[in-house]
Amino acid sequence: MLPKFIDTHCHFDPEDVASDLIQEATAARVGVLAVGGNAINNQTAQASGVPFACGYDWSCTGASIQLTLHPQMVAVGELGFDFHRGYSLEIEADQRERFALQAEFARRAELPIIVHTREADEVTLSALREADLPKTGVIHSFTGDREIARRLLNLGYFISFSGIVTFRNADLLRETARYVPDDRILIETDAPYLAPVPFRGRRNRPAYVRETAQFVAALRGMTVEAFAQLTNENTIRCFGKQAVWETL
């Protein structure tokens, strides 16, 4: 039997039939963590019936942040920092404020966080250091180099790799994927974006996490079985709520 993997980060859009994608994933022996990040994705994630995360990411401006607990909610997120579309002190202050609010919610709820960071390494590191959360979380769809990974690992965070690691020009990222220690690595799709090779350019789906998993296992000189066991254990350690994962 194929070893089971968990896609620790996918989004369901309103046009997706989440139940079909989850069924397809289950048939491919892939478990799913549905991630929000804005009001719409928060809703589709919670309605999907699988473990989920809710949060308000960098793109939500002026959102009044409303988060409520749920037994299947395993994390707060995604949230974080993104200066890809521009940087100003005002933008940074706005993103920091939204981050701090949700970090406080995570602290009180004793949930980990799912962190997005793009062109924002130093701000992300300083915000995570300041938040100093007892339950850390994961830096998702990581694209940084070894040095940034090392500093995030030192803060206690897990590092998750998406299909980007399979892209032809991603040599530096492959180096990072070899570097992250066994007890801190996770995998994900970030569907519907970032489909791994050989599906690059298509709409991504949770079942495709197998391609990334096989690729990273080979990169690390591990069997697919050993890598599956490792990442599944890490998923439970990162997110807790073991019983929720056992239903997948």
Residues forming the site for Zn ion (CB under 5 A) = 190
Give the separation between CA 240 and CA 244, rounded to whole angstroms. Answer: 9
Residue 59 Cβ, how far from Zn ion at the closest point, in Å? 11
Nearest residue (CB) to Zn ion, 82 versus 211? 82
**Shortest Cβ contact with Zn ion: which residue?**
190
Nearest residue (CB) to Zn ion, 35 versus 213? 35
Nearest residue (CB) to Zn ion, 3 versus 187? 187
Asked if the bond preceding 196 is cis, omega within 30° of 0, the reply is no
Residue 55 Cβ, how far from Zn ion at the closest point, in Å? 10
Residue 35 Cβ, how far from Zn ion at the closest point, in Å? 5
Helix, strand, or coil here: 236?
helix
Nearest residue (CB) to Zn ion, 7 versus 190? 190
Residue 189 Cβ, how far from Zn ion at the closest point, in Å? 9
Give the separation between CA 20 and CA 3, rounded to whole angstroms. Answer: 21
Residue 11 Cβ, how far from Zn ion at the closest point, in Å? 6
DSSP state of 13: -
Which strands form 113-118's sheet, in the order they lie side by side?
Answer: 5-10, 30-37, 52-56, 73-82, 113-118, 137-139, 158-161, 185-187
DSSP state of 63: P
Nearest residue (CB) to Zn ion, 115 versus 180? 115
Nearest residue (CB) to Zn ion, 153 versus 191? 191
* 3 CB neighbour count, 10 Å cutoff: 18
Half-sphere exposure of 123 (CA within 13 A, CB side): 23
Asked if the bond preceding 78 is cis, omega within 30° of 0, the reply is yes
Structure tokens given for 3: 């070893």
Residue 40 Cβ, how far from Zn ion at the closest point, in Å? 13
Nearest residue (CB) to Zn ion, 5 versus 12? 12
Provide the residue type at 206 as one letter: P
Looking at the chain, how many residues does it have?
A: 248
239, 217 Cβ separation under 8 angstroms:
no
Residue 89 Cβ, how far from Zn ion at the closest point, in Å? 26
DSSP state of 94: H
